[in-house]
Structure 1
Amino acid sequence: MDYLLLKYLHVLGAIVLLGTGTGIAFFMLMAHRSGDAEFVAKTAGVVVVADMVFTASAVVVQPITGYLLADLMDVPLWEGWLGVALLLYGVAGAFWLPVVWIQMRMRDLALESARAGTALSTAYHRLYRIWFLFGFPGFGSVMAILWLMIAKPGL
């Protein structure tokens, strides 16, 4: 496969990961801050779909295009900056997978509250705090990977 096409697809995947992650975080934060269970439920529903369509697609494309690029350039996968990037990719995934489940559960709990006409539950708020905290290492790992891809430091 052509190097420039692979690089384009790889960069596009990084943009989708960062863009979707930023958008999801912003919209979930704004919905949560509203305290409106129905708004939270609808927003979380859209967020779950966005994660499944965009983030999951990029999560699949990134390692494939990354591997093909490394192979094309004869860069060893587990050495230097690329090895660190792969480890960080694992960290990002370890935090993203539970976040997807948490978002689904938050959606369901908010929907229950909206239907009952009650405030968001303690269980919802506990999950929100975990979701919020997991965003830092998950998103931070992706940001660090982007820097490694650009700088390619000698490690």
Structure 2
Amino acid sequence: MTFDDLLRLLHVLGAAVLFGTGAGIAFFMAMAERTRDPRIIAHVGGIVVVADTVFTATAVVLQPLTGYGLARAIGWPLTEGWIVLSLALYVFAGLFWLPVVWIQIRLRDLAKQAVVRKAPLPPAFDRLYRIWFACGFPAFAAVIAIFWLMLAKPDITLF
């Protein structure tokens, strides 16, 4: 395996982790919320926060590093249109991911508080959950667009 091959492998694995962890987190959090059971939501919310920290945050940091290394090793200029657009979409997705992390922590905490008080989920939970849910769509669309750009490498003139 060449160094280029290793970088490609790490970059593809990182992309798979970002997309797969995001999809898994969204699925499990949505399924937990559907139960309306604060105990289940608090438990799943705790796992979601850990998964986002361990997997997503790590991949978020490593993805640009492997992408940069790969571009340099192959000889792609970083001003290549599809690379610039990929990076812009990466930042766009990140702008939705950062508040989602905070919201997940709040959702977990609100569910934990409801468990302790033996009370139903407060209205703030539902408001935050709707925002969390809505943030997923543009972020996932951006990640899918990045996958397409990485595969198709279209000739895009930006400058």
**Which TM-score tier does this pair reach, normalised by the shorter chain?**
over 0.9
Are residues 1:43 and 2:40 paired? no
Residue 145 of structure 1: aligned partner: 146
Q: Which consecutive unaligned segments of at least 5 residues does structure 2 have?
A: none
CA–CA separation in structure 2 for the residues paired with 1:13 and 1:103: 22
- For residues 63-92 of structure 1, the C-alpha deviation after alignment (integer angstroms, 9 at most, x for no partner) is 000001111122122331111000000001
- For residues 85-119 of structure 1, the C-alpha deviation after alignment (integer angstroms, 9 at most, x for no partner) is 00000001111011000000000001001111111
- For residues 103-152 of structure 1, the C-alpha deviation after alignment (integer angstroms, 9 at most, x for no partner) is 00000001001111111111110000000000011121111101110111
CA–CA separation in structure 1 for the residues paired with 2:122 and 2:65: 41
Q: Tell me the TM-score normalized by structure 2.
A: 0.95
SS of residue in 1 equivalent to 2:77:
coil
**Distance apart, 1:8 and its partner CA:** 0.2
Number of aligned pairs?
Answer: 155
Q: Which consecutive unaligned segments of at least 5 residues does structure 1 have?
A: none
Letter in 2 for 1:73: I
CA–CA separation in structure 2 for the residues paired with 1:9 and 1:143: 18
Are residues 1:131 and 2:135 paired? no
Residue 31 of structure 1: aligned partner: 32
Residue 67 of structure 1: aligned partner: 68
**Distance apart, 1:153 and its partner CA:** 1.1
Q: Tell me the TM-score normalized by structure 1.
A: 0.97
Q: CA RMSD in A?
A: 1.0
CA–CA separation in structure 2 for the residues paired with 1:115 and 1:143: 40
SS of residue in 2 equivalent to 1:120:
coil
Query: What are the within-5 Å matches in structure 2 for residues 84-95 of structure 1?
Result: 84-95=85-96
Query: Structure 1: which 4+ aligned runs deviate by more than 6 Å?
Result: none
Residue 16 of structure 1: aligned partner: 17
